[in-house]
Amino acid sequence: MSKRRAMLSLVPAAEVVNLHDARLSRRVDAYRARLDRVLTANKRAVTRLFSTGLIFTKHGTRAGRDLLLAHEHLLRVVSLVDRLGNEGDVPAPRKPEEVDAIFVELDTLLDRTSDLTEHTADLLEELGKD
């Protein structure tokens, strides 16, 4: 056996990293963090709505419906994030177009949910001043 072959056998094999999968994983983790923030804000708004008793007013009822809609959006977001992380019932998409379509839907749902939660928080502040 030559010296060169002997030296090559001593070098450990390098691990190949798929950059596409690494980027996707990092992006899914960022969405999980964003989802946690939105869930916390939504939960805080619901708690405030009930603890102040404003849920029993006309405007409070509307705010409650908005928060319920936001929660429905969040359930869909959880399902999509789990799918992207290959943790859901449906296998994760492999085609870049399918993955991008899911991220667009995630952005849309999280933006809608944030808008509903912010609108409800503003309404609660106004109602709390009365």
* Whether pLDDT at 2 is above 80: no
pLDDT at 60: 85
Q: Alpha carbon of 128 to those of 41, 51, 62, 64: distances in Å?
A: 18, 11, 15, 15
Q: Which amino acid is at 125?
A: E
Query: Each residue of 26-76: pLDDT tens digit?
Result: 988 998 998 898 889 888 888 888 888 888 888 888 888 999 999 999 999
pLDDT tens, position by position, 50-62:
888 888 888 888 8
Name the pTM for this structure.
0.71
Looking at residue 85, what DSSP letter applies?
T
> What is the C-alpha to C-alpha distance for residues 104 and 101, in angstroms, rounded to an integer?
5
Q: With beta carbons less than 8 A apart as the criterion, state whether 112 and 70 touch.
A: yes
1 pLDDT exceeds 70? Answer: no
What is the residue extent of each domain of the chain?
19-129
Amino acid at 54: L
- In this predicted structure, the answer to whether residue 6 has a pLDDT above a threshold of 70 is no
